[in-house]
Amino acid sequence: MSDAFLSQTITITSDGEEIEAYAALVQDTAPRGGVVVIHHLPGYDEETKEIVRHFAALGYNAIMPNLYWRDAPGASPDDAAAAGRAKGGVPDERLVADVAGGAEFLRALPNSNGKVGVIGYCSGGRQSVLAACSLELDAAVDNYGAFVVGTPPEGFPLKVKPLYDLLGDLSCPLLGLFGVDDQYPSQEHVAELEGLLTEHGKEFEFHNYEGAGHAFFAVNRPAFRPEAAKDGWEKIAAFYGKHLGA
């Protein structure tokens, strides 16, 4: 079995339109699962592309749609992210379409076993849950996504809504990784989400890391916490191994 993979920028179809995406595709022919990576608000950046390649190194085909492509086609990723930010972020319907396009691409690969997971960080954590409540997927990972549940602070100019109405539609097991010191989501938010998923009879696995706050996976940011990130990656590998395996 070969561990070679090909990583490159490609286009995928989302809601009938072509958008840019970054893919890392395993070259071995043995059937395997796929992962759609949702980047964080600052954009389709080098660090998140490294996460895509990491999934290929773990043996999964992986793809990251450029969520800001429609805001500024062809612009550099940071300029496109600024254009998206000025518009208040990525609309939920568009996010779901982009993840659906990524999942469809992965399932059509010759070495796909038909299973697709989704993962997101920060704003992408909420979007991972949103996608898993809107699409038929096989595993979802929420890394410290704010406003899956919870009431925004008074006067907060939130352009996205909590997902209370959608949680009953969660289509797959959910892994949640959170920092105990995070305020959004706080430990109260995490507990509330646990309670709601239990009420809905959904399968989930949550881990809360002491000494870590928001964005503890982000290797290029002061919030990086190597111990939490290392353990988190092990949890992700085990979770996808269980749910995306052949």
Partner 1 sequence: MCTYIVEKVSTEGSGKGPDGWFAVTDTTVSYDHPVHASAEHTLNIDFLNPGKGASARVAVELTAQSARELIAAIQRTLEQVPPGL
Segment 24 to 83, residues that bind partner 1, using CB under 8 A:
40-43, 45, 71-72, 75-76, 78-83
Are the C-beta atoms of residues 91 and 188 closer than 8 Å to each other? no
Q: Which of 1, 2, 16, 156 binds partner 1 (CB under 8 A)?
A: 156
Q: Which of 35, 122, 133, 163 binds partner 1 (CB under 8 A)?
A: 122
Q: How far is the CB of 108 from partner 1 (least distance, A)?
A: 31
Residue 160 sits in the site that holds partner 1 (CB under 8 A): yes
Question: Which of residues 9 and 183 has its CB atom nearest to partner 1 in the complex?
Answer: 183
Question: Which of residues 56 and 215 has its CB atom nearest to partner 1 in the complex?
Answer: 215
Segment 163 to 222, residues that bind partner 1, using CB under 8 A:
182-185, 214-215, 221-222
Question: Which of residues 215 and 228 has its CB atom nearest to partner 1 in the complex?
Answer: 215
Residue 56 vs residues 33, 50, 229: alpha-carbon distances, Å: 10, 10, 18
Sheet holding 204-209, edge to edge: 5-14, 17-26, 61-65, 32-38, 112-121, 139-143, 174-179, 204-209
Number of neighbours of residue 23 by Cβ within 10 angstroms:
26
Q: Cα separation of 125 and 128, whole Å?
A: 5
Q: Residue 177 has which token pair?
A: 């990784």
Q: How far is the CB of 221 from partner 1 (least distance, A)?
A: 7
Nearest C-alpha neighbor of 26 from the set 112, 100, 108: 112
Residue 158 sits in the site that holds partner 1 (CB under 8 A): yes
Q: Which of 1, 157, 165, 201 binds partner 1 (CB under 8 A)?
A: 157
Question: Which of residues 206 and 224 has its CB atom nearest to partner 1 in the complex?
Answer: 224
Alpha helices in the chain (DSSP H): 46-57, 77-86, 92-107, 123-134, 187-199, 226-243
Question: Which of residues 142 and 182 has its CB atom nearest to partner 1 in the complex?
Answer: 182
List of residues 6+ apart from 222 with CB closer than 8 A: none
Interface residues with partner 1 (CB under 8 A) are: 40-43, 45, 71-72, 75-76, 78-83, 85-86, 88-89, 122-123, 146-147, 156-160, 182-185, 214-215, 221-223
